[in-house]
């Protein structure tokens, strides 16, 4: 399953760091962030709990960019 989330991030470099952190999260098959549109697209592993996985994604992204926002 794929979902799109609105985000707030200040620079393209920060978005790149967040994208890498999200992609490494357990339950995420792939993640891409568009700095220009301020959107994150996440593809989940089959059978993953989307809500729990997104909580982990937010936590991992906050570790690399603490002032980012991901609107779940």
Report the pLDDT value the prediction gives residue 72, as an integer from 0 to 100. Answer: 92
Mean pLDDT in runs of 10 for the chain (72 residues)? 97 96 98 97 97 97 95 94
Helix/strand/coil for 9: coil
Report the pLDDT value the prediction gives residue 16, as an integer from 0 to 100. Answer: 96
Report the pLDDT value the prediction gives residue 41, as an integer from 0 to 100. Answer: 98
Question: DSSP assignment of 23-72, as one string?
Answer: HTSTTEEEEEEETTTTEEEEEEPTT--HHHHHHHHHHHHHHH-TT-EEE-
Report the pLDDT value the prediction gives residue 69, as an integer from 0 to 100. Answer: 96
**Nearest Cα to Cα of residue 40 among 27, 57, 64, 52:** 57
């Amino acid at each position: 399953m794929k979902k799109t989330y609105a985000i707030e991030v200040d620079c393209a470099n920060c978005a790149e760091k967040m994208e890498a952190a999200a992609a490494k999260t357990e339950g995420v098959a792939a993640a891409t962030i568009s700095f220009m549109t301020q959107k994150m697209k996440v593809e989940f592993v089959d059978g993953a709990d989307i809500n729990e996985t997104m909580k982990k994604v937010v936590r991992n992204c906050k570790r690399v960019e603490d002032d980012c926002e991901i609107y779940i």
